[in-house]
Amino acid sequence: MEQALINACKNNQLSVIKLLVAKNLNVNYRDNFGKTALTYSGLKGNLDAIKTLVQAGADSGICDDFSNSLLHHVVFSGNKEAIKYVLGLSSVDINASNMDGNTALMVAVSKFDKDAVEILLKNGAVDTANNKNLTALDLASKNGASSIVELLLMADDLAKEHKQNASANSANSQNQNQPQNTQPPQETFVPLKCTECHAYLDIKDSSPQKAKCPYCHTSFEKR
Protein backbone atom coordinates (compact mmCIF):
# COMPACT_ATOMS: atom_id res chain seq x y z
CA MET A 1 0.00 0.00 0.00
CA GLU A 2 2.93 2.35 0.71
CA GLN A 3 4.23 1.87 -2.82
CA ALA A 4 0.77 2.72 -4.11
CA LEU A 5 1.02 6.03 -2.25
CA ILE A 6 4.38 6.75 -3.84
CA ASN A 7 2.96 5.96 -7.28
CA ALA A 8 0.02 8.29 -6.65
CA CYS A 9 2.44 11.07 -5.71
CA LYS A 10 4.53 10.43 -8.83
CA ASN A 11 1.38 10.78 -10.93
CA ASN A 12 -0.08 13.82 -9.09
CA GLN A 13 -3.22 11.89 -8.12
CA LEU A 14 -4.36 13.99 -5.19
CA SER A 15 -7.70 12.21 -4.67
CA VAL A 16 -5.91 8.84 -4.46
CA ILE A 17 -3.31 10.29 -2.09
CA LYS A 18 -6.06 11.47 0.28
CA LEU A 19 -7.75 8.06 0.21
CA LEU A 20 -4.50 6.23 0.98
CA VAL A 21 -3.29 8.43 3.84
CA ALA A 22 -6.68 7.94 5.49
CA LYS A 23 -5.75 4.24 5.85
CA ASN A 24 -3.06 5.07 8.43
CA LEU A 25 -0.24 3.58 6.36
CA ASN A 26 3.44 4.46 6.78
CA VAL A 27 3.65 7.82 5.01
CA ASN A 28 7.43 7.85 5.56
CA TYR A 29 8.07 4.62 3.64
CA ARG A 30 11.20 4.98 1.48
CA ASP A 31 11.71 3.33 -1.93
CA ASN A 32 14.96 1.99 -3.42
CA PHE A 33 16.24 5.56 -3.89
CA GLY A 34 15.42 6.59 -0.35
CA LYS A 35 12.59 8.77 -1.58
CA THR A 36 9.27 9.07 0.23
CA ALA A 37 5.82 10.01 -1.00
CA LEU A 38 6.53 13.55 0.21
CA THR A 39 9.75 13.60 -1.80
CA TYR A 40 7.89 12.79 -5.02
CA SER A 41 5.17 15.33 -4.32
CA GLY A 42 7.94 17.86 -3.80
CA LEU A 43 9.49 16.94 -7.13
CA LYS A 44 6.11 17.49 -8.77
CA GLY A 45 5.62 20.77 -6.93
CA ASN A 46 2.16 19.62 -5.89
CA LEU A 47 1.42 21.93 -2.96
CA ASP A 48 -1.93 20.33 -2.08
CA ALA A 49 -0.33 16.89 -1.98
CA ILE A 50 2.56 18.20 0.12
CA LYS A 51 0.16 19.73 2.64
CA THR A 52 -1.94 16.55 2.74
CA LEU A 53 1.10 14.40 3.47
CA VAL A 54 2.53 16.76 6.09
CA GLN A 55 -0.83 16.85 7.87
CA ALA A 56 -0.83 13.04 7.79
CA GLY A 57 2.53 12.94 9.57
CA ALA A 58 5.04 12.89 6.71
CA ASP A 59 8.54 13.82 7.89
CA SER A 60 9.75 16.85 5.94
CA GLY A 61 13.28 16.35 7.26
CA ILE A 62 13.95 13.07 5.43
CA CYS A 63 16.58 13.21 2.67
CA ASP A 64 16.93 10.67 -0.14
CA ASP A 65 19.99 8.46 -0.74
CA PHE A 66 21.71 11.34 -2.53
CA SER A 67 21.15 13.64 0.46
CA ASN A 68 18.63 15.74 -1.45
CA SER A 69 16.19 17.37 0.96
CA LEU A 70 12.53 18.14 0.39
CA LEU A 71 13.57 21.73 -0.30
CA HIS A 72 15.99 20.59 -3.03
CA HIS A 73 13.14 18.77 -4.75
CA VAL A 74 10.57 21.55 -4.38
CA VAL A 75 13.01 24.14 -5.74
CA PHE A 76 13.68 21.81 -8.66
CA SER A 77 9.93 21.74 -9.36
CA GLY A 78 9.83 25.53 -9.63
CA ASN A 79 6.55 25.95 -7.72
CA LYS A 80 7.08 29.20 -5.79
CA GLU A 81 4.13 28.72 -3.40
CA ALA A 82 5.36 25.21 -2.57
CA ILE A 83 8.84 26.60 -1.90
CA LYS A 84 7.42 29.20 0.51
CA TYR A 85 5.33 26.56 2.29
CA VAL A 86 8.25 24.14 2.71
CA LEU A 87 10.47 26.93 4.03
CA GLY A 88 7.91 27.40 6.80
CA LEU A 89 8.31 23.82 8.03
CA SER A 90 10.44 23.62 11.18
CA SER A 91 12.48 20.58 10.12
CA VAL A 92 13.68 22.11 6.86
CA ASP A 93 17.25 23.41 6.70
CA ILE A 94 17.48 26.05 3.97
CA ASN A 95 21.26 25.60 3.67
CA ALA A 96 21.39 21.79 3.65
CA SER A 97 23.64 20.37 0.93
CA ASN A 98 23.40 17.08 -0.98
CA MET A 99 26.15 14.58 -1.77
CA ASP A 100 27.68 16.98 -4.29
CA GLY A 101 27.64 19.82 -1.79
CA ASN A 102 24.89 21.63 -3.69
CA THR A 103 22.27 23.57 -1.73
CA ALA A 104 18.74 24.43 -2.79
CA LEU A 105 20.08 27.85 -3.78
CA MET A 106 22.42 26.20 -6.26
CA VAL A 107 19.54 24.18 -7.66
CA ALA A 108 17.59 27.39 -8.26
CA VAL A 109 20.61 29.02 -9.93
CA SER A 110 21.24 26.00 -12.15
CA LYS A 111 17.62 26.23 -13.35
CA PHE A 112 17.94 29.99 -13.97
CA ASP A 113 15.00 30.45 -11.61
CA LYS A 114 15.39 34.07 -10.51
CA ASP A 115 12.19 34.11 -8.42
CA ALA A 116 13.23 31.00 -6.48
CA VAL A 117 16.69 32.48 -5.90
CA GLU A 118 15.10 35.64 -4.48
CA ILE A 119 12.77 33.68 -2.19
CA LEU A 120 15.65 31.64 -0.83
CA LEU A 121 17.92 34.64 -0.28
CA LYS A 122 15.18 36.55 1.52
CA ASN A 123 14.72 33.60 3.85
CA GLY A 124 18.38 33.39 4.78
CA ALA A 125 20.02 31.14 2.19
CA VAL A 126 23.82 31.39 2.35
CA ASP A 127 26.01 31.02 -0.73
CA THR A 128 28.48 28.29 0.19
CA ALA A 129 30.89 26.31 -2.01
CA ASN A 130 30.06 22.79 -3.21
CA ASN A 131 32.41 19.82 -3.54
CA LYS A 132 33.92 21.37 -6.69
CA ASN A 133 34.58 24.56 -4.73
CA LEU A 134 31.98 26.43 -6.77
CA THR A 135 29.44 28.80 -5.24
CA ALA A 136 26.02 29.80 -6.57
CA LEU A 137 27.60 33.09 -7.63
CA ASP A 138 30.25 31.18 -9.57
CA LEU A 139 27.56 29.12 -11.33
CA ALA A 140 25.45 32.17 -12.19
CA SER A 141 28.49 34.06 -13.49
CA LYS A 142 29.62 31.09 -15.55
CA ASN A 143 26.17 30.81 -17.15
CA GLY A 144 25.90 34.54 -17.81
CA ALA A 145 22.79 34.91 -15.63
CA SER A 146 23.34 38.61 -14.87
CA SER A 147 20.00 39.17 -13.11
CA ILE A 148 20.72 36.28 -10.74
CA VAL A 149 24.28 37.52 -10.17
CA GLU A 150 22.79 40.87 -9.17
CA LEU A 151 20.46 39.16 -6.67
CA LEU A 152 23.29 37.12 -5.16
CA LEU A 153 25.36 40.26 -4.67
CA MET A 154 22.38 41.79 -2.81
CA ALA A 155 21.89 38.74 -0.57
CA ASP A 156 22.54 40.52 2.74
CA ASP A 157 20.24 43.43 1.88
CA LEU A 158 17.44 41.09 0.77
CA ALA A 159 17.64 39.05 3.97
CA LYS A 160 17.67 42.21 6.11
CA GLU A 161 14.66 43.66 4.26
CA HIS A 162 12.75 40.40 4.69
CA LYS A 163 13.43 40.37 8.44
CA GLN A 164 12.29 43.95 8.83
CA ASN A 165 9.08 43.28 6.91
CA ALA A 166 8.41 40.13 8.93
CA SER A 167 8.90 42.05 12.20
CA ALA A 168 6.59 44.84 11.04
CA ASN A 169 3.90 42.37 9.98
CA SER A 170 4.18 40.56 13.31
CA ALA A 171 3.79 43.82 15.24
CA ASN A 172 0.77 44.85 13.16
CA SER A 173 -0.81 41.46 13.70
CA GLN A 174 -0.38 41.70 17.47
CA ASN A 175 -1.90 45.17 17.51
CA GLN A 176 -4.89 43.97 15.50
CA ASN A 177 -5.42 41.05 17.87
CA GLN A 178 -5.48 43.23 20.98
CA PRO A 179 -9.00 43.77 22.34
CA GLN A 180 -10.39 47.18 21.58
CA ASN A 181 -11.58 49.39 24.43
CA THR A 182 -15.31 49.60 23.88
CA GLN A 183 -16.07 51.48 27.10
CA PRO A 184 -17.60 54.91 26.54
CA PRO A 185 -15.42 57.89 27.49
CA GLN A 186 -15.79 58.92 31.11
CA GLU A 187 -17.57 62.18 31.83
CA THR A 188 -15.52 64.91 33.48
CA PHE A 189 -16.96 67.27 36.08
CA VAL A 190 -16.22 70.92 36.78
CA PRO A 191 -17.09 72.98 39.86
CA LEU A 192 -19.82 75.57 39.37
CA LYS A 193 -20.63 78.45 41.71
CA CYS A 194 -24.10 79.84 42.22
CA THR A 195 -24.07 83.63 41.80
CA GLU A 196 -26.68 84.10 44.53
CA CYS A 197 -26.11 81.61 47.35
CA HIS A 198 -22.52 80.83 46.37
CA ALA A 199 -23.03 77.11 46.62
CA TYR A 200 -20.50 74.93 44.80
CA LEU A 201 -21.77 72.10 42.64
CA ASP A 202 -20.00 69.44 40.55
CA ILE A 203 -21.59 69.59 37.11
CA LYS A 204 -20.73 67.61 33.98
CA ASP A 205 -18.32 69.43 31.69
CA SER A 206 -20.82 68.95 28.86
CA SER A 207 -23.47 70.93 30.74
CA PRO A 208 -24.41 74.46 29.57
CA GLN A 209 -22.33 77.38 30.80
CA LYS A 210 -25.25 78.63 32.94
CA ALA A 211 -27.98 76.74 34.78
CA LYS A 212 -30.39 76.97 37.73
CA CYS A 213 -29.11 76.42 41.25
CA PRO A 214 -31.04 73.54 42.86
CA TYR A 215 -30.90 75.37 46.21
CA CYS A 216 -31.93 78.96 45.54
CA HIS A 217 -33.09 78.52 41.97
CA THR A 218 -31.01 81.40 40.66
CA SER A 219 -28.49 81.21 37.87
CA PHE A 220 -24.92 80.03 38.43
CA GLU A 221 -21.93 79.81 36.13
CA LYS A 222 -18.76 77.82 35.71
CA ARG A 223 -16.08 78.78 38.12
40, 71: one domain: yes
Residue 190, strand partner residues: 203
11, 73: one domain: yes
- Residues 44 and 135: their CA atoms lie apart, in Å, by 26
Q: Is residue 181 part of a domain?
A: no
pLDDT value for 215: 54
10, 57: one domain: yes
User: What tens digit of pLDDT does each residue of 171-211 get?
Assistant: 666 666 666 655 555 656 555 666 665 555 555 555 555 66
Confidence of residue 159 (pLDDT cuts 50, 70, 90): confident
Final residue before a domain boundary, out of 63, 93, 123: 93
* Domain housing 67: 1-93
89, 109: one domain: no
User: What tens digit of pLDDT does each residue of 64-110 get?
Assistant: 999 999 999 999 999 999 999 999 998 999 999 999 999 999 999 99
User: What tens digit of pLDDT does each residue of 19-55 get?
Assistant: 999 998 999 999 999 999 999 999 999 999 999 999 9
Q: Is residue 173 part of a domain?
A: no
Q: What distance lies between CA 165 and its chain's CA centroid?
A: 11
- Look at the chain and report how many structural domains it folds into: 3
- Residues 206 and 187: their CA atoms lie apart, in Å, by 8
pLDDT value for 176: 66
Indicate whether this model's pTM tops 0.75: no
Query: What CATH number does residue 135 fall under?
Result: 1.25.40.20
Confidence of residue 161 (pLDDT cuts 50, 70, 90): confident
Q: Is residue 56 part of a domain?
A: yes
- Residues 222 and 190: their CA atoms lie apart, in Å, by 7
- Residues 135 and 176: their CA atoms lie apart, in Å, by 43
